[in-house]
Structure 1
């Protein structure tokens, strides 16, 4: 007869929680206490620490995330499952639907409808990665590079924009920066990405293409060599490197 396992894995902490702060307003006999409540999205990490992110005024998780100890979290934060069901989940679903409408409109070539939907989403969550990527791509497709540059400057500051979950949009955005002649922005963009993932041969390859289109063969070759150092089987990088070295040699002979 086997004994039941005592190593039952407990569920990790995840959901919407609240914290309260008590403030004193006034002085002497007029002093009164007010309690302010804040809502947070919380998730327990593999390390055991809790990652929290505040909900904005639209009740969407937004802004910077921070880690706190489990002990601090359990002593100061209270679960709010009903609030999640009644308020947060519907708001997040509504935001996702808005972004999906924007993406469908952009893919159909209806750029003004796409702009409307993405702007609406950004009004709810200014740092939403998908909405910002979508709006930036919409502007590039319309040739409005000055507006696309504003979005680029916002995205390049967001760590979340360079995470694996956004890889598809991230790649499309970088390629479109280059194709629309925004080579300096493309280089800044890929440099930012390399800070997050320095061992990505495709980032070095894309950086090389941007430098080539700027006419900077030396930097182009350096990044192609890095791409091949990471992945010697990268055929496109090898062909591009051979061509770039040939062009460099021809330029030196002139």
Structure 2
């Protein structure tokens, strides 16, 4: 992937499937997890996570609309699954780099093979200088991706919150209220004390016809910032429209 890509984290996509026919027809829903980055031209690259929770396989490029209407952020999944797996992978990478620098090529190859998931049960297969260098090159690419994925500090989380808020605003303007609410919820998970997020999600709830939820978040915004003028005005407007 391009080094200029912005890491957005882990997202999921639900796929509905049908099996059988007539009386034997069964419906099921399958959730797939993806690692997502975005380029400066607002293209979104999605790559599925493998059984080890690491990005692997075909990278698909989507437009902003395709991405926002099909994928949902998975903050908890990233924290519980992908991040620990990446830390373990990073440890193998660092060990391989250290061994390679010391000239211990066989051991370095084993570490690279484990990191790259190359026949972990038989890491010494087909070894040799060419094989080591090939793995070293692949490892270098992998190392760059892992370093970006491990950027999970407060700066990254704040950037995610801002992205989710912008995504939600864009979706609300397209009258995609359910999708908008979903992104606002994820943004609030990252910062429950942001009065503007509560105000914004209230607007989406109101537009979706869920006045009670809208009032609930307006009240939360006012607890955080009691003199939030537009929140007071919006609450008055909702109460007038619903005659509460």
TM-score, length-normalised on structure 1?
A: 0.45
- Structure number with bigger Rg: 1
More RCO (CA 8 Å, sep 6+): 2
TM-score, normalised to structure 2, is: 0.47
